Amino acid sequence: GENVEQHPSTLSVQEGDSAVIKCTYSDSASNYFPWYKQELGKRPQLIIDIRSNVGEKKDQRIAVTLNKTAKHFSLHITETQPEDSAVYFCAARVNAGKSTFGDGTTLTVKP
């Protein structure tokens, strides 16, 4: 089955700096890669996603890049703000089927 590895497990940045979280996956059939943000005690919420026919996608301060050959994808957050502090999960999926999640990255943005 699919295996997703996520790094780093914790990340601390100063407000205004950039944050990068990386994930690798093992199943070449995976073609959909969402990223979720989960605040303490809340549900995971989709913040951005990318399909395998696209190399990069941006939404304001958030971007995701995908390298299908190397089987890795990354989340980039620019101009970080304290409200970006949360746990971020990557996932890999084949179409609309089951997701395999990474173990999560706890991002702390220090004011």
Partner 1 sequence: DARVTQTPRHKVTEMGQEVTMRCQPILGHNTVFWYRQTMMQGLELLAYFRNRAPLDDSGMPKDRFSAEMPDATLATLKIQPSEPRDSAVYFCASGLGTGNYEQYFGPGTRLTVT
Residues forming contacts to partner 1 in the complex (CB under 8 A) are 32, 34, 36, 42-46, 49, 51, 89, 93, 95-104
Judged by CB, which is closer to partner 1: 27, or 49?
49
Q: What is the DSSP string of 31-98?
A: -EEEEEEE-TTS--EEEEEEETT-SEEEETTEEEEEETTTTEEEEEE-S--GGG-EEEEEEEESTTS-
In the complex, minimum distance from the CB of residue 59 to partner 1, in angstroms, rounded to a whole number: 14
In the complex, minimum distance from the CB of residue 44 to partner 1, in angstroms, rounded to a whole number: 5
In the complex, minimum distance from the CB of residue 18 to partner 1, in angstroms, rounded to a whole number: 25
Judged by CB, which is closer to partner 1: 6, or 80?
6
Interatomic CA distance for residues 44 and 87, integer angstroms = 9
